[in-house]
Amino acid sequence: MMHERPNKYLRGLTTAFAIGTAGLGAETIRQAQSETMTHGVDIGTSEQMEMKYRDNPEFDLEVLGGEFTAEERAARTEMIMPGIEIFHDIGLDYYRVQPGDTKESIQNTLSLLPEYGYLDKQQRRTVGFNIAEQSVHDVEWLPIPVERSKLQISDEDFLTEAKKGIEELEKDECYGETARKIIEKIGEDEFSASMLAIAKMESGEHIGSNQFSLYDSTNHTFSISPYHVLDKGAGKRARHNLNKTVGQMNSPKNAVKLLVGFMAEKLDEPTSIFPINEHAEQFATQYNGANWRTMNPNYATDLAGYYQKALKKLRNE
Where the chain has pLDDT below 70, the residues are 1-55, 317
Q: Of 128, 149, 170, which one is at a domain's C-terminal end?
A: 149
Q: Of 114, 133, 149, which one is at a domain's C-terminal end?
A: 149
Same domain, 19 and 50: yes
Q: 3-state DSSP call for residue 295? A: helix
Residue partners of 309: CB distance under 8 A and separation at least 6: none
Same domain, 254 and 127: no
Same domain, 92 and 189: no
Instruction: Specify the pLDDT at position 63.
Output: 97
Same domain, 164 and 144: no
Same domain, 22 and 57: yes
Same domain, 145 and 161: no
Same domain, 278 and 166: yes
Instruction: Specify the pLDDT at position 125.
Output: 79
Instruction: Specify the pLDDT at position 175.
Output: 98
Instruction: Specify the pLDDT at position 49.
Output: 31
Q: Of 149, 184, 206, which one is at a domain's C-terminal end?
A: 149
Same domain, 79 and 190: no
**C-beta of residue 108 within 8 angstroms of C-beta of residue 120:** no
Instruction: Specify the pLDDT at position 81.
Output: 87
Instruction: Specify the pLDDT at position 316.
Output: 86
How many domains does one find in the chain?
2
Same domain, 10 and 134: yes
**DSSP-assigned letters across all residues of 119-138:** GGG--STTTS--S-GGGGGG
Instruction: Specify the pLDDT at position 154.
Output: 93
Q: Which residues pair with 81 in a beta bridge?
A: 84
Instruction: Specify the pLDDT at position 149.
Output: 87
Same domain, 244 and 277: yes
- Give the separation between CA 280 and CA 191, rounded to whole angstroms: 14
Closest to 180 (Cα-Cα) out of 238, 275, 260, 258: 260
3-state secondary structure 139-155: CCEEECCCCHHHHCCCH
Same domain, 103 and 30: yes
Instruction: Print the domain residue range for 79.
Output: 3-149
Same domain, 118 and 205: no
